[in-house]
């Protein structure tokens, strides 16, 4: 697995270390570099809500390395899940078996999420614009799209109600676009003051973790700007992979590579690369059960 992807995962986990409740309801993408950075941005006692494989890796890496008392919340209804392996989906039985509590989906959304009880939400999408608005609905015109995506799920509520949101995506011209084909989840709208005007209670996106580096909203305009680059990545590469005129802070820093402890934890979870090779190690897919054969029956006599 590429070094930049490994740094991404650990940064996610470290990032989780600044908050109290992290909801596992929210991200799509992959890469160890992104996962590690999400780990670094999670805080002790945090409640995390997450949605897909990469945030799941990040949140569980945070629990194993940086914030052991982090509370993972999955939109399927599990609170305080402590999976021993990466769950295959939010409906994986491992989550319910290791959770402190299992509640209904309406309770997760109405009481925990909309009630402002989730500190950090992880989100990802097919497209993102300069103000961290997200599209996970369609590519192309809504009535006649070239691709119809899985849709919003719980993403709009996460973007609206979590105290802060961490976005994890691959950075390319296809995903970092000047204009979204459809606005699924509001980040910072058209800029400063838009969330307040729309009545959104959460703080909105505070960090974007890509396979090239880290982006944060400018304090005044709330437009995303490059603050860190992963080892081996240049600012020119990041700009070439962005559909708008990407700005940067005056001094762009470099993220630190994943530590041996973080890499070991990733491998235990099944989210890192195997020792000695550069290939990604993933959980085996469940094979389809063999089809049942209908026993041979004697033909019915003609009437």
Which of the following is catalytic: 75, 157, 164, 262?
75
CA 163 distance to own-chain centroid = 16
CA dist., res. 141 & res. 8, Å (int): 32
Closest CA to 223 of 245, 238, 196, 201: 245
Q: Which long-range contacts (CB under 8 A, 24 or more apart) does 280-289 make?
A: 280/1, 280/30, 283/85, 283/86, 283/88, 286/88
- The answer to whether residue 75 is catalytic is yes
∠ CA 179-185-214, nearest 5°, is: 70
Residue 90 corresponds to which tokens in the numbers above?
């939010």
Beta carbons of 223 and 217 less than 8 angstroms apart? yes
Beta carbons of 113 and 200 less than 8 angstroms apart? no
Q: Interhelix angle for 32-39 vs 53-65, to 10°?
A: 50
Active site residues: 75
């Amino acid at each position: 697995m590429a070094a930049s992807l490994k740094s991404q995962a650990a940064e996610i986990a470290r990032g989780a270390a600044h908050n109290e409740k992290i909801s596992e309801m929210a991200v799509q993408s992959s890469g160890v570099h992104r996962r590690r950075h999400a780990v670094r941005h999670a805080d002790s006692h945090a409640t995390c809500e997450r949605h897909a494989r990469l945030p799941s890796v990040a949140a569980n890496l945070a629990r194993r390395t940086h914030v052991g008392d982090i509370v993972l919340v999955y939109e399927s209804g599990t609170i305080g899940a402590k999976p021993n392996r990466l769950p295959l989906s939010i409906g994986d039985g491992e989550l319910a078996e290791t959770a402190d509590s299992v509640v209904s989906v309406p309770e997760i959304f109405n009481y925990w999420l909309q009630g402002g009880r989730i500190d950090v939400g992880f989100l990802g999408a097919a497209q993102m614009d300069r103000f961290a608005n997200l599209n996970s609905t369609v590519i192309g015109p809504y009535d006649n799209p070239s691709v119809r995506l899985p849709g919003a799920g719980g993403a709009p509520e996460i973007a609206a109600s979590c105290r802060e949101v961490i976005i994890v995506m691959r950075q390319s011209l296809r995903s970092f676009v000047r204009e979204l084909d459809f606005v699924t989840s509001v980040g910072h709208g058209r800029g400063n003051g838009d969330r307040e005007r729309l009545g959104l209670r959460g703080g909105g996106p505070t960090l974007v973790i890509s396979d090239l580096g880290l982006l944060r909203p400018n304090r005044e305009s709330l437009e995303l700007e490059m603050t860190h680059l992963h080892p081996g990545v240049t600012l020119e590469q990041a700009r070439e992979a962005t559909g708008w005129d990407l700005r940067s802070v005056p001094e762009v820093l470099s993220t630190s590579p994943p530590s041996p402890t973080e890499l070991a934890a990733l491998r235990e979870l099944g989210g890192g690369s195997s020792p000695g090779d550069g290939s990604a190690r993933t959980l085996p897919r469940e094979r389809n059960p063999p089809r049942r054969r209908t026993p041979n029956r004697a033909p019915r006599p003609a009437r």
